Structure 1
Amino acid sequence: MLRTVNRVLIGLVGLSLLVLGGSVLAVGLGVDPPSWWIHDGKHDVLLSDAERTRWNDESWWWPTVIAALALVVLLTLWWLTAVLRRRRLTEVRVNTGDGEGALLRGRALEGVLASDAGRLDGVQRAQARLKGRPDAPETHVHLHLEPHADPGTTLNYLTEESLAHARNSAGLESLPAEVRMTAVKHKAERVS
């Protein structure tokens, strides 16, 4: 959902900037603008002296302009950090027992955890994703269960086998997990 909203907003802002900038550039290069356009021709300025100095005598004008621009900058920085923030954990620190340690790729641990969970009875498909810090990872597991699977038994096997195996293999003290289970929907088939 967030990815879709992000793409739509970027597309709308980009399209509006392209149309506005392209039209100003076209008028500046000598293209005759339509009668409803805000600028008359090639030698017209974007802001006239009257437009620029209209609110200078008002005491509220400059603080309002500065506050609005500061708000735009803060919202832009917030959006940029939200876009650039990594959603997945790329590396996990593994305790090797010799005091040095090692780094394990997050995708490798995700793959092993998903394949291990996918082998459980009644699990059609499993997905795993790591979040958190390299020294304290958390995992999010999504299991797609067959209609005959018992969720309690599956969760028990997942925590006692798959998650315990991943935690012990990486030498982690704990591996908190959020598990989501959904039932697989099958199309109705006619039996003759």
Structure 2
Amino acid sequence: MLEGVNRVLLGIVGLVLVLLGGSVLAIGLGAPAPSWWPHDGRHDVLLDAAERTRWRDEGWWWPAVIAVLAVLVLLSLWWLLAVLRRRRPAEVLLDTGDEEGASLRGRALEQALAEEVSHLDGVDRAHVLLTGRRSAPRTRILLRLQPRTGPATTLRALTRGPLAHARDSAGLPALPTEVRLHAVTHAPERVT
């Protein structure tokens, strides 16, 4: 949904900017100004001295300008953070082979994959995060390994087991995965 809202907002802002900029350019190049245009001709400035200083002495003017600009900045920051935030797909499209397809909740796939990964030998705890698009999901897996567990062995078991199973059962051509390994530290033992 955020992608759709993002595209609509960008389209509206782009259209307004192109229309305003194009009309200013056309009038500046000598095209006749439409009747609704606030300026008279080619050599007229957008804001003359009287328009720039008209509200300067009013007590409400500067607080209103600052409030509007602050709201615009906050909305722009919210929009930027929403765009830059890593999106988690709510569902993953599955290939069922009948050209209809099906969808699986993203959280259900995360939980099932985390459960299967946590049962691997040497894995103390697993956390799975699904990112990417509905049709091309990606996974991030955080593994906490028990002491004296070989990371290479765990990665091979992860690739051949849970990841291959998730990829095949979802009918995905690939399931790109980023794995982060952390070793569980144990308390020092007292030797007597």
Which TM class, normalised by the smaller chain length?
Answer: 0.5 to 0.7
Q: TM-score, normalised by structure 1?
A: 0.60
Alignment of 1:1-192 (within 5 A): 69-70=68-69, 72-80=71-79, 82=81, 87-190=87-190
Q: Give the aligned residue type for 1:181.
A: L
| Inter-CA distance 127–78: structure 2 relative to 1 (3 Å threshold) | same
Hey, what's the Cα distance between the residues in 2 that align with 1:189 and 1:89? 45
Unpaired segments ≥5 residues, structure 2: 1-52
Hey, what's the Cα distance between the residues in 1 that align with 2:175 and 2:133? 11
What residue number does 2:5 align with? none
Q: TM-score, normalised by structure 2?
A: 0.60
Between the aligned residues of both structures, percent identity stands at 50
Q: Give the aligned residue type for 1:105.
A: R
Q: Which moved more, 1:125-134 or 1:67-76?
A: 67-76
CA RMSD, aligned part only? 3.0
SS at match of 1:99: coil
Hey, what's the Cα distance between the residues in 2 that align with 1:186 and 1:155? 22
Structure 1 residue 116 displacement after superposition: 1.1
Hey, what's the Cα distance between the residues in 2 that align with 1:67 and 1:139? 44
Structure 1 residue 81 displacement after superposition: 5.6
| Inter-CA distance 191–83: structure 2 relative to 1 (3 Å threshold) | farther
Unpaired segments ≥5 residues, structure 1: 1-53
Structure 1 residue 177 displacement after superposition: 0.5
SS at match of 1:163: helix
Structure 1 residue 90 displacement after superposition: 1.4
Structure 1 residue 70 displacement after superposition: 4.2
